[in-house]
Structure 1
Amino acid sequence: MKRIILILGFVLSSNTLLTQNPKCDCAIVYDNLIEKLEDNYIGLAQLRILNKDKEYEKRKIEYKNKVSKINSANCAKYLQQFLSFFEDGHLFTFELPKYSENETKQFREKIKEDVISTNSILNTLEYEKKMIEKNGLDGIIGQWTDGKSKFAIIKDEGYYKAYIISSTIETVEPGELKAIYKSTDNGFEGTYYSYGYSPRYVEGNIYKEGTLLVFTGANYWGKIGDNSVREISMIHNEDTRLPVIQKLDNTNTLFSIPSFMADYQKFNQIILDNLELLKNTTNLIIDIRGNVGGNAIYFSFLDAYATQSMQSTQGLVLASEQTKIYFERFTKNSHEIYNPVVERIKTNIGQIINGPKYPIREFEPFESNIKNVAILTDNGCMSAAESFIIHSKKASTKVKTFGKPTDGVIDYTSVNSIKLNSGDQNIYFGYPTSTLNKDVFEEGYNKTGIIPDVPIKDNVKDKIQFIIDYYKNK
Structure 2
Amino acid sequence: MAKTREECLPVLQEWLHFFRKGHIYIKTLEREKGNESPALAKQLDTLSIKNQFKEWPRLPISLPEFEKYLSNKKTQDFEGIWDGTPYKIAIKKTENGYKGILINNVSPYWESEQIKLEIVREGNELKGIAYMRDHSKAKSDHIECMGQNYLHVAGLWLKRLAPVLPTETEVQEYLTSGNAKSPFIKQLDNNTLYFRIPSFDPRQKKAIDSVLDANDEILSKMPTLIIDIRGNGGGSDFSFSHIIPYLKTNPISTFGVEYLSTSINNNRMLDYINKPEYKTFFTDEQREWAKKSYDTLQKHLGEFIYLKEPIKEKEGEDAATKRAYPKQVGIIIDGEVGSSAE
Normalised by the size of structure 1, how large is the TM-score? 0.40
Deviations 1:31-65 (A, max 9, x none): xxxxxxxxxxxxxxxxxxxxxxxxxxxxxxxxxxx
Partner of 2:281: none
Q: Is the 8 A contact 2:262 2:302 kept in 1?
A: no
- TM-aligned CA deviation for residue 238 of structure 1: 11
Partner of 1:280: 221
Give distance in 1, aligned partners of 2:245 and 2:200: 17
Deviates more, 1:295-304 or 1:322-331: 322-331
Q: Tell me, what secondary structure is at the counterpart of 2:308? A: strand
- TM-aligned CA deviation for residue 382 of structure 1: 1.5
Q: Is the 8 A contact 2:228 2:331 kept in 1?
A: yes
Does 1:302 find its partner at 2:244? yes
Partner of 1:70: 4
- TM-aligned CA deviation for residue 371 of structure 1: 1.4
Q: Amino acid of the residue matched to residue 315 of structure 1?
A: V
Select 2:176's aligned residue among 194, 219, 236: 236
Cα pair distance change 1:263/1:357, threshold 3 Å: closer
Q: Provide structure 2 residue ranges, at least 5 long, that are not aligned to the other structure.
A: 51-61, 105-111, 120-128, 161-165, 275-286
Give distance in 2, aligned partners of 1:315 and 1:89: 18
Q: Tell me, what secondary structure is at the counterpart of 2:182? A: coil
Aligned-CA RMSD value: 6.0
Q: Amino acid of the residue matched to residue 240 of structure 1?
A: A
Give distance in 1, aligned partners of 2:168 and 2:322: 34
Q: What does residue range 141-156 of structure 1 map to in structure 2 within 5 Å?
A: 154=91
- TM-aligned CA deviation for residue 233 of structure 1: 0.6
Partner of 1:373: 329
Deviations 1:344-375 (A, max 9, x none): 3x143xxxx34432677799969673111111
Does 1:292 find its partner at 2:233? yes
Partner of 2:340: 384
Cα pair distance change 1:233/1:239, threshold 3 Å: closer
Does 1:83 find its partner at 2:16? yes
Q: What does residue range 356-371 of structure 1 map to in structure 2 within 5 Å?
A: 356-357=307-308, 369-371=325-327
Give distance in 2, aligned partners of 1:128 and 1:90: 43
Partner of 1:10: none
Q: Amino acid of the residue matched to residue 370 of structure 1?
A: P
Give distance in 2, aligned partners of 1:319 and 1:376: 37
Give distance in 1, aligned partners of 2:224 and 2:210: 22
Deviates more, 1:266-275 or 1:356-365: 356-365
- TM-aligned CA deviation for residue 249 of structure 1: 1.1
Q: Tell me, what secondary structure is at the counterpart of 2:258? A: strand
Percent of paired sites with the same residue: 20
Does 1:190 find its partner at 2:124? no
Give distance in 2, aligned partners of 1:118 and 1:360: 68
Q: Amino acid of the residue matched to residue 313 of structure 1?
A: F
Larger radius of gyration: 2
- TM-aligned CA deviation for residue 284 of structure 1: 0.2
Partner of 1:40: none
- TM-aligned CA deviation for residue 304 of structure 1: 3.9
Q: Is the 8 A contact 1:204 1:213 kept in 2?
A: no
Partner of 1:92: 25
Q: Amino acid of the residue matched to residue 83 of structure 1?
A: L
Give distance in 2, aligned partners of 1:375 and 1:289: 9
Give distance in 2, aligned partners of 1:257 and 1:245: 9
Does 1:316 find its partner at 2:225? no
- TM-aligned CA deviation for residue 91 of structure 1: 1.9
Cα pair distance change 1:238/1:382, threshold 3 Å: closer
Deviations 1:77-117 (A, max 9, x none): 3442443453554221235869955748997xx9xxxxx96
Q: What does residue range 215-226 of structure 1 map to in structure 2 within 5 Å?
A: 226=167
Partner of 1:254: 194
Deviations 1:245-291 (A, max 9, x none): 32121111122334334962555555555454434321001122333
Q: What does residue range 263-274 of structure 1 map to in structure 2 within 5 Å?
A: 264=204, 270-271=211-212, 274=215
Cα pair distance change 1:375/1:239, threshold 3 Å: closer
Q: Is the 8 A contact 2:269 2:293 kept in 1?
A: no
Cα pair distance change 1:328/1:378, threshold 3 Å: same
Higher RCO, 1 vs 2 (CA within 8 Å, ≥6 residues apart): 1
Give distance in 2, aligned partners of 1:121 and 1:293: 43
Deviations 1:310-345 (A, max 9, x none): 54532234566654444554577223345434533x
Give distance in 2, aligned partners of 1:204 and 1:129: 20
Q: Is the 8 A contact 1:289 1:377 kept in 2?
A: yes
Cα pair distance change 1:355/1:266, threshold 3 Å: same
Give distance in 2, aligned partners of 1:156 and 1:321: 61
Give distance in 2, aligned partners of 1:84 and 1:161: 31
Partner of 1:402: none
The number of residue pairs the alignment matches comes to 272
Cα pair distance change 1:84/1:106, threshold 3 Å: closer
Q: Is the 8 A contact 2:200 2:235 kept in 1?
A: yes
Q: Provide structure 1 residue ranges, at least 5 long, that are not aligned to the other structure.
A: 1-65, 111-115, 132-140, 165-175, 192-198, 387-474
Deviates more, 1:292-301 or 1:118-127: 118-127
Deviations 1:131-154 (A, max 9, x none): 9xxxxxxxxx996789xx997785
